[in-house]
Amino acid sequence: MLRAKETFRKMYSVAKNYCGGGLAASDALSAVSALGRSLKPSRKASRHVVPCRARSFTQCSLGGGSADQEIVIALGSNVGDRISTFDRALRMMKNSGVNITRHACLYETSPAYVTDQPRFLNSAVRGTTKLEPHELLKKLKEIEKDIGRTDGIRYGPRPIDLDILLYGKSHISTENLTVPHERIHERPFVLAPLVDLLGSSTDDNVEKSWHSLAKCTGGFFESWDKLGGESIIGTEGIKRVLPVGNRLLDWSERTLVMGVLNLTPDSFSDGGKFQEVEAAIAQTKLLISEGADIIDIGAQSTRPLARRLSADEELERLVPVLDAITGIPEMEGKLLSVDTFYAEVAAEAVKRGVHIVNDVSGGQIDPRILEVVAELGVPYVTMHMRGDPSTMQSEQNLLYGDVCKEVASELYKRVRQAELSGIPLWRIVLDPGIGFSKNSKHNLEVIMGLESIRTEIGKMSLGASHVPILLGPSRKRFLGEICNRVNPTERDAATMVVATAGILNGANIVRVHNVKYGVDTAKVSDALSKGRR
């Protein structure tokens, strides 16, 4: 043990120098045939990556000083408003010298050790800091105290728990601090978020050293699998959840259906039908009666070559309808999403009761939307698109080598930008952008390749590969090309075929115009998926 401050300083100095309506059968058959032709064998990522052996570390090999150190900090809470507490803790960490760069998913877990207490929320963040290990520990303890944690029963209820899991390439063992955290290997609620923060391949030197600190030759991946790995996610003991509205959604339980409400005169499918408040309310009630979980309201058309509205013009269309819809009793328990790429529109919509921001540009048209959504604290749907609606179908934007691989890479860049802007991974939903910067062949390959897209993203961040995927194929032009249906409203049969394929390949939310068919499709697809397992 290091008891004397001077001894600690000397050892630290040495260590620092040492380390570094009836469905049309013909349409369905046409779509099935096209999907079948697009099917390719899926690529599976290796579950285990045995890390390269890192250099051995001293018993108290401490980093810190002027160099930035990569760290992982675990978060836990089971008292009070757990989500708000996490948000507050993240802000306080940033203000205390921790630069947060990546987030794990959010997990609701059964209490361990002392079981007679409320369920926990658990997650973790990865970042950098110039704080020395014990300085960092002190800051975290101050944050816990400021949030309201007091001494109590060990492993008992607490408003916040912040633990240093990993610090640089260091193995630390002092009187007050042990890194890696000594009980990582027996705790699914710690290992699951930790593994989220790693890539499935260990090209990163820091990650290699972290795996070398694990008690298994396969690193933390093997430790996680020994506890059950992905097979235990979705059980009563541990669930991935999406905080939205006043609830925590476990999207693995069933596929959610998002109903489309366009307030535009020029949308490709139903433009001009629901611009008036009374018509929009009637359509909303219909979508809800048919089983929609989410109503996605859009006041700006994003069809190819559509004229772009200003934020003020979009709000002029949106606000009257939004105010009316939020007041109807049918909306009780339902979720509202706003389809916009403007920060100003997102802020006003959430102020008026919207729960989710759905951005087809992924922050590329109005980059301010990322910081605004981070402040709003709502889920953010980031979609894959090259260019904007006026350029997305250009010859250059339709050039792909491996469409699934490139969509995964480009989509992950949007995720990284969102995270660096302050949107935690646990509030991000991915949309591969069916019909955006893609031709018919690309769309089919993406629908059948959702698993491979997850796999590719997992090579960069396992956590990002686990977030919900939203699929929006409804009535798109490529279905009309396949089925020879010029009228978009005649493409519902084909829509349900590709929605089924998407769900069976990993989609968690389907965005459709015909909610009645969409709900039935989701139910049958979920049953097929469970039967396949």
With beta carbons less than 8 A apart as the criterion, state whether 358 and 339 touch.
Answer: yes
What DSSP designation does 124 have? E
Say how many domains are in the chain. 2
Same domain? For 326 and 223 the reply is: no
- The per-residue DSSP string of 457-470 comes to HHTT-TTGGGS-BE
Residue 156 makes CB contacts below 8 A (sequence gap 6+) with: 114, 117
Residue linked to tokens 């959610």: 256
Residue 338 has pLDDT above 60, yes or no: yes
- Ranges of beta strands (E only) in 84-171 are 98-103, 106-109, 120-129, 161-167
pLDDT value at residue 5: 41
What are residue 335's DSSP bridge partners?
294
pLDDT value at residue 268: 53
The least confident of 58-67, 121-130, 503-512 is 58-67
For residue 241, CA distances in Å to 235, 247, 343, 426, 440 come to: 12, 9, 25, 8, 33
Same domain? For 516 and 401 the reply is: yes
In a domain, 4, yes or no: no
Residue 482 to residue 475: CA distance in whole angstroms: 12
What DSSP designation does 53 have? P
In the chain, the amino acid numbered 176 is N
Of 126, 485, 511, 516, the catalytic one is 511
Same domain? For 276 and 164 the reply is: no
**Cβ neighbours around 324 below 10 Å, total:** 14
Give the model confidence (pLDDT) of 25-68 as tens digits: 556 555 556 666 555 444 333 344 444 443 333 444 444 456 89
Same domain? For 193 and 75 the reply is: yes
Question: Is 130 a residue of the active site?
Answer: no
Structure tokens at 67: 């160099």
pLDDT value at residue 215: 82
pLDDT value at residue 307: 77
In a domain, 36, yes or no: no
Same domain? For 180 and 274 the reply is: no
The least confident of 15-24, 65-74, 290-299, 364-373 is 15-24
Same domain? For 264 and 162 the reply is: no
Give the mean model confidence (pLDDT) for residues 353-382. Answer: 97
With beta carbons less than 8 A apart as the criterion, state whether 385 and 434 touch.
Answer: no
* Short-list 489, 499, 408, CA closest to 448: 499
In a domain, 114, yes or no: yes
Range of the domain at 282: 253-531
For residue 186, give the CATH number of its domain: 3.30.70.560
The least confident of 268-277, 416-425, 473-482 is 268-277
- pLDDT band (50, 70, 90) for residue 20: very low
Residue 348 has pLDDT above 60, yes or no: yes
Same domain? For 223 and 268 the reply is: no
Residue 200 has pLDDT above 50, yes or no: yes
Residue 212 makes CB contacts below 8 A (sequence gap 6+) with: 51, 52, 53, 54, 219
Give the model confidence (pLDDT) of 215-264 as tens digits: 888 899 999 999 999 999 999 999 999 999 889 999 999 999 999 999 98
Residue linked to tokens 């008036």: 276
Q: What is the pTM of this model?
A: 0.88
In three-state secondary structure terms, 520 is helix
Q: Which of 214, 240, 266 is the last residue of a domain?
A: 240
In a domain, 54, yes or no: no
**Cβ neighbours around 87 below 10 Å, total:** 18
Same domain? For 366 and 475 the reply is: yes
In a domain, 20, yes or no: no
Mean pLDDT for the chain overall: 87
Residue 502 to residue 496: CA distance in whole angstroms: 10
In a domain, 31, yes or no: no
Helix (H) or strand (E) run with residue 428 in it: strand 428-431
Residue 215 makes CB contacts below 8 A (sequence gap 6+) with: 185, 223
Residue 420 has pLDDT above 80, yes or no: yes
Same domain? For 363 and 404 the reply is: yes
Question: Is 91 a residue of the active site?
Answer: no
Residue 7 has pLDDT above 70, yes or no: no
With beta carbons less than 8 A apart as the criterion, state whether 155 and 187 touch.
Answer: no
Residue 133 to residue 168: CA distance in whole angstroms: 9
The least confident of 44-48, 424-428, 523-527 is 44-48
Q: Which of 240, 267, 302 is the last residue of a domain?
A: 240
- Ranges of beta strands (E only) in 223-274 are 238-244, 247-249, 256-262
Task: Report the share of the chain in percent with pLDDT over 90.
Answer: 74
For residue 489, give the CATH number of its domain: 3.20.20.20
Give the mean model confidence (pLDDT) for residues 443-451. Answer: 98
- The per-residue DSSP string of 410-427 comes to HHHHHHHHHHHTT--GGG
Structure tokens at 442: 């690309």
In a domain, 416, yes or no: yes
Residue 1 to residue 16: CA distance in whole angstroms: 18
Give the mean model confidence (pLDDT) for residues 99-123. Answer: 93
What are residue 429's DSSP bridge partners?
381
Same domain? For 223 and 84 the reply is: yes
Residue linked to tokens 């996490």: 86
Same domain? For 236 and 179 the reply is: yes
pLDDT value at residue 275: 72
Same domain? For 320 and 393 the reply is: yes
Of 476, 477, 491, 516, the catalytic one is 476
Tell which wins on pLDDT, 458 or 58.
458
What DSSP designation does 117 have? S
CA angle 11-14-18, nearest 5°?
Answer: 135
Tell which wins on pLDDT, 308 or 82.
82
pLDDT value at residue 398: 95
pLDDT value at residue 389: 87
